[in-house]
Structure 1
Amino acid sequence: MKRMLALMLTLAVALTAAPALAQDTLDKIKSTGVLTIGTRTGSPPFAYVNKANEWVGFSIDLVETLIKPEVETAVGKAIKIEKKESTPPTRIPLLSSNAVDLIAGTMTDTPQRRESVDFSLTFFYTGAQFMVKKGSPIKGVNDIAD
């Protein structure tokens, strides 16, 4: 079951990522031979720099395994991946200014962000929760509202 889910996820990301790159971005990649990604340096397991000073993580693996081959097919030649550090405040400006070709990492898809960037299919879901001491009378949001 996990293998099937992983395969379906892989196909979904691969099929949506390359078309999302605008033609002028693909032209830039074709002329430079470089796909520049913005990614975090300290957000395991998605993207981080390990003890050997290598950029690693699930998001990096997705780019190297799925996106790179699709982009190489689109531009008709082998390319290299250049990684630039991005942080939550810098990732959209880096993308909007063409300093990077895509952001490889976690980012919440919101209507406000969709006004300035496009998103691939979601490949990671999470939720926020409150934790309280065992036996606490707080059982939900209404218990803490004024």
Structure 2
Amino acid sequence: MKLSALSAAVLLAALAATSAQAGDTLAKAAEANKITFAYRESSVPFSYLDGPGKPIGFAVDISNAVAEAVKKQTGKADLKVEWMPVTSQNRIPLLNNGTVDLECGSTTNNSARGKDVDFAINHFYTGTRLLVKKSSGIKDWADLKGKKVAITTGTTNMLVVRKYNDEKKLGIDVVGTKDHADALLLVETDRAAAFPMDDILLYGLKANAKDPASLEVVGEALQVEPYACMVRKDDPKFKALVDGVITGMMKSGEFEKLYDKWFMGPIPPKNQAVGLPMSDELRNNIKSPSDKPAT
């Protein structure tokens, strides 16, 4: 059946309106009376599980603050907040297809990802180092020559390590894993010599490992990259809200209190402290908030 010009115009207008609404997170949340946040299952201390379906962490607390701001902005005091687990591989697709509305965890803000999503104000800075067994004798990258390492698939760390491996001709055998906990297990069971990853995640995983004393974080950082929350592209109202929440926390001192809670004090489930003081890069970002990506 042929559409008349008027019917076609009406249909196109309806589709355009639906598309616009899909790109407007606040409108989407108000209509559904629901917003969905992503969480990671083992990105300690940013976003991880403290029991089935119970995400906690530094980035989860930021997400909860965003939820309160969304409730005020939409006038929906009873707005339902749902949580969905994501991995390094599916976090961007699930954000872009509308399954989740905010991904706040341990995601590097870089120019490549910036083509697909927008990033909020940077909330952490980290570099790729190595988690190894103390008994391994590995102290730096050169000690990995000819050895097997485990790296979470879909991370910038895998790209960085592959490039370094090629440049230095170390012959490292890189094995991809689904998530950080899987890579840690390969090291703990001697099926991989090291787990290269963002240093803060390694400290967090070590603190909650079965035998923390048997592990150590070693090696020089290959690069320094910022973490930031991801929002859908071309949604300036929601990005402005998330940015406002984070900069507000930075100006009020709440951000530093949150940092001390998750990075310096004892955290669940073992009440071990990560013990990583705030970096100069992050302190500078608190003074002058920026969403500048890594190159």
TM-score (normalised: structure 1)? 0.70
Distance apart, 1:109 and its partner CA: 1.0
Tell me how far 1:114 sits from its aligned partner.
0.4
Gap change, CA 1:52 and 1:117, over 3 Å in 2 = closer
| Partner SS, residue 125 of structure 2 | coil
Query: How many residues are treated as equivalent by the alignment?
Result: 116
1:27-66 C-alpha deviation (Å, 9 max, x unpaired): 11001221101111121111111136521111111111x2
What is the correspondence of 1:119-138 to structure 2 with a 5 Å cutoff? 119-129=119-129, 132=139
The residue number in structure 2 matching 1:77 is: 76
Cα shift at 1:23: 6.3
* Per-residue deviation, residues 3-22 of structure 1 (Å, max 9, x unmatched): xxxxxxxxxxxxxxxxxxx8
CA deviation profile, 1:75-104 (whole Å, cap 9, x unmatched): 111212100011000000001101111102
**RMSD (Å), alpha carbons:** 2.3
Q: Relative contact order (alpha carbons < 8 A, sep ≥ 6): 1 or 2 greater?
A: 1
CA contact (8 A) 2:40 2:48 kept: yes
Corresponding residue number in structure 1 for 2:87: 87
Can you give the 5+ residue segments of structure 2 that lack an aligned partner in the other structure?
A: 1-21, 131-137, 144-163, 170-295
- Aligned partners of 1:99 and 1:71: how far apart in 2? 17
The runs of 5 or more residues in structure 1 that have no matched partner are 1-21
Give 1:24 shift.
2.1
Equivalent residues of 2:47, 2:56 under 8 A apart: yes
**Is 2:145 the partner of 1:145?**
no
| Correspondence for 2:282 | none
Q: Which residue is 2:107 aligned to? A: 107
- C-alpha separation between the residues in 2 aligned to 1:116 and 1:30? 24
Identity over aligned pairs, percent: 34
Q: Which amino acid aligns with 2:85?
A: E
More strand by share: 2
With normalisation by structure 2, the TM-score equals 0.36
- SS of aligned partner of 1:74: helix
Structure number, greater radius of gyration: 2
